[in-house]
Amino acid sequence: MGNFRINASEAPSFILTGFPGMEAMEPWLSFPFLLFYAISIVGNSLILLIVKEEQSLHQPMYYFLSLLSVNDLGVSFSTLPTVLAALCFHARVITFNACLAQMFFIHLFSWTESGILLAMSFDRYVAICNPLRYATVLTNARIVAMGLGTVLRSFVLIVVFPVLLQRLPFCHPQNILSHAYCLHVDMIKLACTDVTLNSHYGLSIVLLTFGLDSALILISYVLILRSVLAIASQEERLKTLNTCVSHILAVLIFYVPMVSVSIVHRFGAGLPHAVHILMSILYLFVPPMLNPVIYSIKTKEIRRRLLKMLFRIKL
């Protein structure tokens, strides 16, 4: 195996894939992707600007929302260069090191988003189940610590991926990826050696992070629901639950596509390639695009400020 080890002079390159069989239409298909990116970048940037400028939004809930927006911008900018290069300019070759870097950042931001959603569920739990201690529990210092801890956890887990990938030999004449960007599970399929360690490590950290985070989010909402049901007034129940709707939707649009794309990659070898493309689009493009839309619609303070900024409406 030593003859196949990668060094700087003989590192392999990879070929990005757009829409096989539809190459003539790819310039037109690039327009929806440009729209996705525009909505994501503009929407999340506006969320950050609104939270910064609006004093009434300087609260833990909106600080976590700002973290989510920064992370979603990271997801968008991680995929933007290769997607546009492949679809608009047919520039499909990517070097091994560039592919490693993109893979690292895509997975880093995905893992970080899971942690941020967990932190946001903790925020809703404290706000609803223990409101009198909300200000003392979620201090600015604790919010910063939670944010840094989430990023550090993701970094420590994901930094192993490039190390493991650099050990693998890629000896095929053409290393063709399944998408217009690099993912760990996609890259290890192209190695011409046993990838059990890579595969098992990837599955383990998925279960230990996404699995644990989603379980804790579910537990937090069970406790929230129990607390809400103890409220005598139905109107107050609905009002309290309404503060969680945006977060619940953000959780669903993140975890459902993520679980779906993981299942398709591991067990859907016989499915049409279009299914793999659709799942990956839902996984990487929909959450960053819809999160700012959901919070702008469902959060009155953000909606009012956004209308004031865009249309100069005096509210």
Pairwise CA distance, residues 42 & 34, whole Å: 12
CA dist 217 and 270 (Å) reads 33
For 12-34, how does the pLDDT look when each residue is reduced to its tens digit (9 = 90+)? 889 988 776 666 777 777 888 88
* 139-184 tens-digit pLDDT: 999 999 999 999 999 999 999 999 999 988 888 778 888 888 998 8
E strand residue ranges, the chain: 13-15, 93-95
d(CA 149, CA 156): 10
Band (pLDDT 50/70/90 cuts) for residue 274 is: low
Q: State the pLDDT at residue 260.
A: 79
Q: 7 falls in which pLDDT band (50, 70, 90)?
A: very low
The yes-or-no verdict on residue 314 having pLDDT over 60 is no
Q: How far apart are CA 46 and CA 176, in angstroms?
A: 37
- Alpha-carbon span 16 to 31, nearest angstrom: 18
The CATH architecture one would assign to domain 13-302 is Up-down Bundle (1.20)
**69 pLDDT exceeds 70?**
yes
Q: Can you tell me the distance from the alpha carbon of 28 to that of 271, in angstroms, rounded to the nearest whole number? A: 25
Q: Averaged over 113-131, what is the pLDDT?
A: 94
As a whole-number percent, the residues of the chain with pLDDT over 70 amount to 90
- Quick one: average pLDDT of 259-286? 74
